[in-house]
Homo-oligomer: A and B are copies of this chain.
């Protein structure tokens, strides 16, 4: 069975949500648990009620809107994403996945389709991680990766506790923040946030997994000296050592694999004065790869480069791992459901691994999971300029709907 979502209604619903916390620059400023987020949650609850869905809110504010299945005790299919945004972010990141999931159940109603399994539309709390850390917090608590009491105590830049904000906006629900029953599958549509789909000319992305990542904080400790009176051979310049590592990391993926990336995003110098040889440099490293073995090799080489640079320049070094996320391989069944939907709709799909984490990372530890990517123009993300054309929104949402329907009909 193939369904076709209502393109105009999809666009209209995307536009409606974009007005909540909308910015003058055409983006969204809808930080998690803010007044704008409450308004977006209320709007979502109203749309779920309009569609006759049964809404539950868990103790961490995750919202689940359920459409009954023919077999009421069959494991449900979970579909959704998040309604919170980055500061002055775009209108697609997160929202497209929730709106597309809503559009899926509306289309089922239009066509009077009763699915075998129940279907739930989910809006996860705090995917972005810009107001409270970490990112993907709601799905992480739900999947058991984080302890709810610990996350309640997290504070934003003003010192406001997360749990107080949850209560203030009225979204600390009664349900435990955990899967209340086995789930059959989780599907999420999200903008790619990168340029690969556009570059390849494909219509839509079939996401086969999420890269693993390792972050570290590196410190080089050299010796501050007068830049005029200190001969070159007398120096231990922490910035020169750091520059060696920046260059090495730029080159590293070329030895690892075509899906590897490596980045030094943050770097600070002390004393940071035009005529003083840098004494201390602190910087971050970010290495990612879909394959855990390749990732481990990448981290090993990064560490070897740090040691070699320190030796070369005569400085001390320290490497502190700061974050580690294992790669996720989505299982065959949901990935093939997405790929089949792409084929059935006659689109040009491209298989790819997500370079960023998503709520699907955590959902994948609870049940079968997969993702659909829509094209991100120029790969722009976390900016008001983020853009996915309406035809691309429509195609990717249609893929989501057909893949979700497929899974909702499956016997096992």
Is A350 in the interface zone, CB < 8 Å from B? no
Docked complex Cα distance between A303 and B276 (Å): 21
Contacts of A381 in B (CB 8 A): 226, 229
- Asked if A215 is an interface residue, CB under 8 A from chain B, the answer is yes
Contact status B265-A276, CB under 8 Å: yes
A273: chain B residues at CB < 8 Å are: 265-266
Decide if B261 touches A272 in the complex (CB within 8 Å).
no
A319 at the interface (CB under 8 A from B): no
Contacts of A239 in B (CB 8 A): 246, 264-265, 267
A389: Cβ under 8 A from any B Cβ: no
Majority secondary structure, A binding face? mixed
Residue A120 at the chain B interface, CB threshold 8 Å: no
Number of copies: 2
Known: A247-B240, A266-B274, A269-B266. A356 touches B229 (CB 8 A): yes
A394-409 contacts to B, CB under 8 A, are none
A213 contacts B by Cβ under 8 Å: yes
Q: Does A244 contact B (CB under 8 A)?
A: yes
Closest to A217 in B: B274
Interface status of A288 (Cβ within 8 A of chain B): yes
Contact with B along A210-238 (1 / 0, CB 8 A): 01010100000000011111111010010
- Inside 8 A of A382's CB, which chain B residues have their CB? 226
Given contacts A226-B355, A267-B239, A275-B265, contact A232 B246 (CB under 8 A): no
Taking a contact as CB atoms under 8 Å apart, the answer to whether B274 and A215 are in contact is yes
Interface residues of A (CB under 8 A from B): 192-196, 199, 211, 213, 215, 225-232, 234, 237, 239-240, 242-244, 246-247, 250, 253-254, 260-269, 272-278, 284, 286, 288, 322, 354-357, 379, 381-382
Task: Pull 29 A–B residue pairs with CB atoms less than 8 Å apart, ordered by A.
Answer: A194-B230, A194-B231, A194-B234, A196-B231, A213-B228, A226-B355, A226-B381, A226-B382, A227-B261, A228-B288, A228-B356, A228-B357, A232-B254, A237-B250, A239-B246, A239-B264, A239-B265, A240-B246, A240-B250, A243-B247, A243-B250, A265-B269, A265-B277, A265-B278, A266-B273, A268-B269, A274-B284, A274-B286, A275-B286
